[in-house]
Structure formats: structure tokens, C-alpha cells
A and B are shown apart, each in its own frame.
Chain A
Amino acid sequence: DADVTQTPRNRITKTGKRIMLECSQTKGHDRMYWYRQDPGLGLRLIYYSFDVKDINKGEISDGYSVSRQAQAKFSLSLESAIPNQTALYFCATSGFSSDTQYFGPGTRLTVL
């Protein structure tokens, strides 16, 4: 089984809808991250969390919110989706003692 899983893998929605993307990990890591990837721009950090009680904004947090429900679960919400939030979204984790980040398979979100 994959160490970092994301659901759903693909989602098409309409402008104004509320969307939640979920991430779960079995690596036992404390640190979790949400990124988005746009063609030609690389990945950009949306939010990150170093433990259940710690939430931090990343480079592009406007229009997004997150919830760290447990050590293993980190959800990303779009309260009112807009077309320019169409992108590939990745969840990642890392442990306290190592800088290496491990990524989930991604969620492809299309906002019409």
C-alpha cells in the first residue's frame, strides 16, 4: 500500500462549490504539506503543518484552508472554488529527523 494517499484522484467541479481534498499517511511523520502544481510553474506551497496543533500559511494560501485532523490526516479545502484553482494538488510528508519529503500521487482538480 502507498505510504501517502490522496482522495479523490480526480475531481471536476463548478465555480462556487466547496471542495475538500484529503491526504492520509502511514509513514508516522509529523510534518505534512499541501502544494499545487501548474504547468510551467513548478510546485508552490499552500499550507504546512508540523504537528496536529500547528498550521502555517505557505506561499499561496489565499482561497484555501486546511485541517489537521490527526497526525496521519491533513485536508485541504477550497471554500468557494474558482477556475484559476484548476491545478494538480499534492500532499507531502516528512519526518522530524530528515529533510526528505514524500509525496502522494496527486489530485487533479478542474473548476469549470
Chain B
Amino acid sequence: KQEVTQIPAALSVPEGENLVLNCSFTDSAIYNLQWFRQDPGKGLTSLLLIQSSQREQTSGRLNASLDKSSGRSTLYIAASQPGDSATYLCAGFSGGYNKLIFGAGTRLAVHP
């Protein structure tokens, strides 16, 4: 069974810190990886999509990397802000038909 695991489950940091969220997957057939942000009571917002041919993607203060050989992806958030507080989900594409396998998420709290 394909599994996606996110560590840690929760994280609390002071404003301004750089932080790393981890995502690991057991299935080498996962070929792309997408990072989402979820705010309480709201839907998911796509942050970054890393294609299998890419090693990383950057958007503003966010940088996501993908290492298929080790089954790992990381989301790096630079200079964290209270507005970054949310749950971050990673999801791997599998099965050749655009099916996402989700991790349970990392709940991030950035305090002033």
C-alpha cells in the first residue's frame, strides 16, 4: 500500500525562524509531489508542484525539494511569519492517472 508520512505532526516556532517540513513516501511509483496549505475551515491551497524531472521548486519564501531515490520531499519556509500558521499537506501523484496520495499533514504555529 502506498503511504505518505509527514513529520512532525505539529510544530511551533517563533516568528523569523527558518523551518523544514518533511514528507516521505513508500512507493517509488509516486512521480510528482504537491505541497498544499490548509487553513482552518477552508479548502486546500496549492503551494508548489514538483515534477519528477525536477529536484526542487521555489515560490517566494518557500522552497520544496524532491528526492525520489530516498522517497523524501522537504518544504523549507524562510523567515517564518504568523500568517504562515496553517496545516501543510504533501501529496504524491501515483497510478498514472493524476491520483493524489496524501500525508496527514504538519500543523504549524508561528508565534510573534
Contact = CB atoms under 8 A, between A and B. Distances in A.
- The answer to whether A and B assemble together is yes
Contacts, number: 55
| Size range of the chain A interface in the assembly | 20 to 34
A12 interface: no
B46 A102 contact: yes
Contact of B32 (A48, A92, A99): A99
Interface string B30-63: 0010101000011111100101000000000000
Q: Is the interface of A mostly helix, strand, loop or mixed?
A: strand
A33 B98 CA distance: 10
A50 B96 CA distance: 13
Interface of B: 4, 32, 34, 36, 41-46, 49, 51, 89, 91, 93, 97-100, 102-105
Q: Which 5 A/B pairs are nearest by Cβ-Cβ distance?
A: A42-B102, A103-B44, A43-B102, A103-B43, A42-B104
B12 to A, nearest CB: 18
